[in-house]
Structure formats: C-alpha cells, structure tokens
Structure 1
Amino acid sequence: MKHLPLGTALLAALAAPVMAEDITVGFAIAKSGWMEAYDSPAATAAKIRIDEINAGGGLLGGQIKWIESDTRTDRAEAAKAGLDLVDQGAQMLVVSCDYDFGAPSALVAEGEGMNSFFLCAEDVKAGIQGVGPNAFSASVLAPVQGATMAEWAYAKREARAAYVLEDTFIEYNKGICTGFDWMFPRLEGAAIVGRDTFKNDDASIASQITRIKELDEEPDVIMLCSVMPGAAAAVRQIRAAGINALILNGSAVDGSYWLDATPDLSGFVVPVQGSIYGDDPRPEVEAFNAAYEKATGARPASQYAYPGYVLIDLWAKAVERAGTVEGAAVTAALEAMTDEPTSFGPRSFSAQLHHQNTALMQIIEITSGKPARVDEWRISEPVPMDVLIAK
C-alpha cells in the first residue's frame, strides 16, 4: 500500500470538505389520549416547516431530523418521553400544547441546557415563569385573546355592558377572563355588569342563565371563557333561553366541528392567529392550509396547527443567527426578536416573557352556522406582566 508523505497527507486532510452535522429535534407529544387532538395538528405543522427548511438547504449546513416519543397525555410519561429523546440525541424538544402536560418534558430539556418549545401553550407558566429561561411558546397568551375580544367588541360592536361567564375547568379559561377583565373596564363607558362560573361538565347552566335574564337589560356581550365540550353546551342553552347577546370566547373553540350541536348559531365571535376558512388576507396562511391538506388529506380543523409551524420558523432563525443549537445562545437570539415577521403575523420575545402578550388576531364570527373572517385586531397595548402573573 502506497503512503503519502506526512505533509502531503495533512494538506489533503485539511482540504477535504467538512460535512455539516444534522440537527435533531425531539417531539415529546401526545400520540394518544385527549391531548393528541391538540398536539397532532401542531406537530404536523412543525414537520411541514422542517421539510421546507431542509428543502431550502437545511440549518447550519445540515438537515433537521426529528424523532418522537409518546407522552400518552400523562405527566409521568411526558417526563419519560423527554428523557428518552435526550438519550436519542435530541438537541431541542418540542413538547405538548398544554402547560401541565408539556412541562415535564420541557423541564428535562431545561436540565440539559436545551431549548424547548410548547406546541401551542397559552399559559404564561409555559416559559420562564414555570419551566426556565430556555422554554418558549410561539402561541398567543389566553389573556391576550380575552383582551382582544374586549377591545374589538367595544370598538366595532359598541359593546358597553358585558357579562362574564367563566368555566373553571382549566387555567386557559381563567386566562381568557383575566384578559377581558383587565381590558374591558379600562374602556370609557364600559362595565362588567355581572359574572358567574360553571363547570365544563355541568349538564345545565340554568341558574346562571336565570341570573343573566334577571338583569335590568340584556348585556351587549357575554364573555364565555370555556372550551369544548362545555362551551357548546353553554352556547346552546344561552340561545335556547332567548338571550341574543353577542357571545365572545377564546381561540380554543375555533373550527366548525362543533356547530352541529348549535344549529344555525349566529353572533358568536373568536380571535384566531389565522383563518382556516380560506378567507385570510395573507397568502402565506392559505399556502400553509394547502400544504397541510397535501400532507394530511384535510385542511386544518382549527387554528391550533399554526403555532407549530411558527415555532420551528422562529427557532430556526434564532439558530442561524446564533450559529449554534446551544440553548443559551439560541435563547439570546430569540429574546432579541421584536415583531419578527412570520406567516401568521409578527412575534416578539424578551428576557422577561417567552410568549406573545400582544398579537395581530383575525376575528372569526359565526353567522347562521357558518364561520368566516370579519375583521382583524391587535390590542392597543400589551397585557402587563403583573396581570399575566396574577392570573
């Protein structure tokens, strides 16, 4: 065997191209249990963005690979899933949409100094406040949704009297009401004229409806802070009682899948990050809807696919700017983002908040059983940190 002189061999080695390493993203998500309905669409959207980035040349010269582990909608399994993915070489974790079910996985990443992104969590604890400095969510906080509904209804529907009806099932519901409670009374001449609570699985809210009907005048709006299936049951009972006030809610009830339970519903409004109905004015949104349909055979069922796409987009930009996937460096690059453009509107992070406390929201109204985009709104000021934390 012929050997090259040492100097020649060294020069040849230096001249050889250095192959960039692939980057591995781990998905600790629910592939079974009730959280699967939220995690699966957002994870699919995240993978669509990964495929786009890879097709465009990849990230830091390599390709993005992804691996998965099923949390089974179980907190103990979520921690195991996070550990499993780290053992397999994950360099960033994407975790379940909900704070309670995603935090165990995110805490594993935090312990390794890695970044984590919640798929679509809208509780402030799904970030610095509940996990640590390297945890983020690209979704819009629940209080922002409530505040958006308050200001939009005041400005566009002349709402001055509101009744707040809060479902005590999960923290998300409380967050919607927190934002509404903060914003609405700040508006000149606006007042909350009554409030009540119910449980998501209550068979009847007859007593709450009676208290609404006992008011001197029907309120202009009812701020219903709820999720399915309780939200649909509450709406059906409110309308059956002859109450025609505009009903507001948060993003969690986006979609037409539940409307059979409330035939010919009108006057129901929600804020969303993008419209699934083909009427969003931004061509990038409809391009994503088409890409999602191509990948899955169906359009997104709700706006909750969108944050998965956005999180990969923002994380990849931060990695490119940092020149590394190392957690602290990527965190610094993310925290430097102010109104960073995305297909679903600008996003910002800071050293104090790894969520969106203001965002451009599309306004969806259901009329005669048909949802459609009717407007867009961005609240006039961010929801303050003390309001978010007090929630």
Structure 2
Amino acid sequence: MKKLMLSTLLAASLAGPAMAETLTVGVAISQTGALAPFDAPVLEGVHIAVDEINAAGGIGGNTKIELIEKDVRSDAAQTSIAVQELADQNVSVMILPCDADPALAAMGVVSSAQIPAISTCASSPTLPVLGGDYMFANFPGDNVQAAVSAKWAFDQGYRNGYIIYSPDTQYTTMPVYFIEVLTKLGGTMLGQATYTIGQQDFSAIATRIAALDPQPDVIMTSAYEPDFPSLLKALRAAGVESQVIGSDGIDSPTTFSLGAVAEGLVFSTAGHATEGSPLEAFNKKYEARYGKAPETVFNAVGYDLVKVLEAAVLESGSTQPQDLRDAIANLENVQGATSTITYKGTTGMPVRQVSLVRVTEGARELVAQPTPDPSLIPEPRMR
C-alpha cells in the first residue's frame, strides 16, 4: 500500500502540480477620496484583465490571479497600514495608489518585505529612485510627458511660457520640467505661480497673468480635479487666451464637460485609441463589460498593469516576489492596451508612448503620438 502511494505521488510530481499555482496580488489603492477619479477607473481595467486571463485558465494556462483589495482612502498613512497588512498575508506583488506621495509612504514596508510594488499611475520619475529596487511605476514619467508637450509647443511657435504648479505633491511640479525643456529649445519663461492643493479661488493668479505684456503663448499646469476646472475658468474669465497645456490628471469626464472654456485645451496622457489599435480593442471589451464607453484612459492603464504582471510570471516561471521583481526589471516591449511597455535599462520608470490630445467640441482629438527625444528628457528632480 505504501509503495502504491509513493509511486502515485512520484507520478503526480513528474506530471506537474495537481492544483494550479496562484499569483496573489495585493491591491492597496484609493477607491475613495481625492485619488479615486484615477484609481477607481484603473481598478476596472485590472478586473477586465484578471477575468480575461483567469477565464483562459490563468497565466500560461495554469496560474490564476487572486486580488486582495484594500481601500486606502487617498491617505498616505492608510496606504502604509494597508501595505503592511498585505505583506503579512504574503502577497507576491502589490499595486499602489496613483500618486507618488502615498506610494512612497509604503516604501519602507515594500523594501523590508522585498515584495515588488507598482503604482497604478503615479508619474513622478522620482518614485522608483526614492522607493528603491522593489518600487516600479506604470505610467509615462512627468519628465517624459513634459518633454513631449514642450517640444510640441515649441514646434507650434509658442516661445513665451508661463507655468502654474503646486509644491504640495510630486506630480503637480511637472510644469518645472516643461519650462526646463522649453527654455532648452530656445523659449522663455515669462513667469510662474504656485497654488495649494484644494485651492478654490484662482482669480489672483489669473489677474496677474492677464496683466502681462506680452501675454504668454502657452501656460502649462499639472493641476487636476477639483483645482484644474477652477483654474481654467478663472483664466478665461480674466481674458487670458493663451494656449493651455495640461497633463494626464485631467483625462477625465469633468474636463470634457467644461464646455467652451476647455475648447482647444491640449494635454498629455498614456494613450489614444486609433483605428485597429490595441486601445480600440480594449475599449470594446470595456463597453461589453460595463455597458458604456470608457471615459478615461485610466481604465486601459489598469489593464496594462496586469499585462506587465502576466509577462513577469511568464518570464520568470515563478510567482515568488524576488523572481517577479527581477523579471519586471528586465521586461521589454510588453504589449498593453495603450502601448508597448519596457522596463529593461530603466530605474523602474517604464518606457512607453505619450499621446497629446486636444479637447475639440467636448471630444478627444489626437494631436500627436511622438516618440520622446531622449536628449530633451530632464533628469528627475528630487524635492
């Protein structure tokens, strides 16, 4: 009897595991609070990708994905607590909030537990630098987006620039990169203004800009909801007609519902659906799942993140945290919904396409999808 049991176990081991291994993903993101307009859509895309992969038998046909979700409520302290709880549950990889500041609040836990972590859509290039070897981003860097938008502005003949930023978060300092590139190309900075996150009245800033002579050709800001709509309305009410360039934080339904004040606004983002593109295919999946067309690219960004995790498991043949960390760091040309994604040769900030989109009659109009000029990309700025 013992010999029979031994031979049966040996045969089973040679044939592979009787039960599929599971990739356990800890999801500590902002389902409520100020970052929810970004993280909530990302989570929808994550669910689409996970369900799609699991329905096919799992990664490689045998490794199912299990999500353990925690709402960190857009709070840095709560993010740290949630990440520690997930580490205690022995997850293989973690997904962190869509902003460098709360994501960095988890870096101590991530480094100590040696579990790779990817922010949903934080774009500060300082995130993986400060966060250490186990911290990754999943979005075009602020410095890359700024290089693309500044080059486009210069090519349009915009020479005099004005920047509006907040020192309160890493993300809202993107305009500093923008003006660095514009001046490197030969442009001039006419001035700058700072604001506080959550500021409701931008009339003083708008009045100051309206009094400038000459007027700025272009104004760049990375303000996002609820600040950006108030800022844009104040500028137009003061008679400022300059080209306004924003960033991915305003890729939301709110921007496209602002009417005339948003007309002609240009912003950088992670992707734009063109005919026959992977993003167009994803948008159809989203509509079939949720019964409506996606209103932001952040849905697709969530799908991209899971495709990165899938590629890391396939590359490493493992769901162990250290193996996944090493695999992610060496991934090349992973096909996502928005673009291909490469980590090899980077510090953890992915190389991926940037799209410039214009608001035209309340809809998206693709301006360009350029390849960033490496010589123009500024070095990450540490606060």
Q: TM-score, normalised by structure 1?
A: 0.87
Given candidates 297, 300, 324, the residue that maps to 1:303 is 297
Structure 1 residues 196 and 327, CA gap change in structure 2 (3 angstroms)? same
Given candidates 347, 355, 359, the residue that maps to 1:353 is 347
Given candidates 6, 12, 15, the residue that maps to 1:10 is 6
Output aligned runs, 1:140-155, within 5 Å: 140-155=140-155
Amino acid of the residue matched to residue 220 of structure 2? M
- Corresponding residue of 2:249: 252
Amino acid of the residue matched to residue 254 of structure 1? D
Structure 1 residues 269 and 131, CA gap change in structure 2 (3 angstroms)? same
Deviations 1:26-59 (A, max 9, x none): 1112333333332221122112112222233322
Structure 1 residues 13 and 115, CA gap change in structure 2 (3 angstroms)? same
- Corresponding residue of 1:217: 214
Structure 1: which 5+ runs fail to align? Answer: none
- Corresponding residue of 1:86: 87
- Corresponding residue of 1:159: 158
Q: Equivalent residue of 1:377, what SS?
A: coil
Q: CA deviation at 1:326?
A: 2.5
Structure 1 residues 93 and 10, CA gap change in structure 2 (3 angstroms)? same
Structure 2: which 5+ runs fail to align? Answer: none
**2: CA distance between counterparts of 1:172 and 1:56?**
37
**8 Å CA contact retained: 1:143, 1:177:** no
Deviations 1:206-249 (A, max 9, x none): 44334333333222211123112221111112122222221101
Amino acid of the residue matched to residue 265 of structure 1? A
**1: CA distance between counterparts of 2:270 and 2:24?**
28
Q: Equivalent residue of 1:270, what SS?
A: strand
Output aligned runs, 1:1-391, within 5 Å: 3=1, 6=3, 8-16=4-12, 17=15, 18-19=17-18, 20-59=20-59, 61-105=62-106, 107-127=108-128, 129-155=129-155, 157-174=156-173, 176-187=174-185, 189-263=186-260, 265-275=262-272, 279-350=273-344, 353-356=347-350, 359-381=352-374, 387-390=379-382
Structure 1 residues 152 and 326, CA gap change in structure 2 (3 angstroms)? same
Q: Equivalent residue of 1:26, what SS?
A: strand
Structure 1 residues 256 and 66, CA gap change in structure 2 (3 angstroms)? closer
**8 Å CA contact retained: 2:147, 2:373:** no
Q: Equivalent residue of 2:244, what SS?
A: strand
Greater shift, 88-97 or 199-208, is seen at 199-208
* Percent of residue pairs bearing the same amino acid type: 24
Q: Equivalent residue of 2:192, what SS?
A: strand
Amino acid of the residue matched to residue 295 of structure 1? R
Deviations 1:8-36 (A, max 9, x none): 44333222342232221111123333333
Q: What count of residue pairs does the alignment treat as equivalent? A: 378
**2: CA distance between counterparts of 1:135 and 1:265?**
36
Amino acid of the residue matched to residue 92 of structure 2? Q
Structure 1 residues 284 and 220, CA gap change in structure 2 (3 angstroms)? same
Amino acid of the residue matched to residue 283 of structure 1? S
**1: CA distance between counterparts of 2:75 and 2:196?**
22
Deviations 1:131-180 (A, max 9, x none): 2211211111122222211011222x222221222244422110x21320
Structure 1 residues 105 and 11, CA gap change in structure 2 (3 angstroms)? same
**2: CA distance between counterparts of 1:341 and 1:297?**
25
Q: Equivalent residue of 1:163, what SS?
A: strand
Amino acid of the residue matched to residue 285 of structure 2? A
Q: What is the root-mean-square deviation in Å for CA atoms of aligned residues?
A: 2.5
Q: CA deviation at 1:352?
A: 5.1
Q: CA deviation at 1:251?
A: 0.7
Q: CA deviation at 1:330?
A: 2.3
Structure 1 residues 106 and 311, CA gap change in structure 2 (3 angstroms)? farther
**2: CA distance between counterparts of 1:57 and 1:382?**
44
**8 Å CA contact retained: 1:134, 1:327:** no
Amino acid of the residue matched to residue 92 of structure 1? V
**1: CA distance between counterparts of 2:197 and 2:75?**
21
Structure 1 residues 65 and 250, CA gap change in structure 2 (3 angstroms)? same
Structure 1 residues 383 and 97, CA gap change in structure 2 (3 angstroms)? farther
**2: CA distance between counterparts of 1:203 and 1:119?**
27
**8 Å CA contact retained: 1:95, 1:106:** no
Structure 1 residues 183 and 168, CA gap change in structure 2 (3 angstroms)? same
**1: CA distance between counterparts of 2:382 and 2:36?**
29
**8 Å CA contact retained: 1:152, 1:377:** no
Q: Equivalent residue of 2:164, what SS?
A: strand
Amino acid of the residue matched to residue 150 of structure 1? A
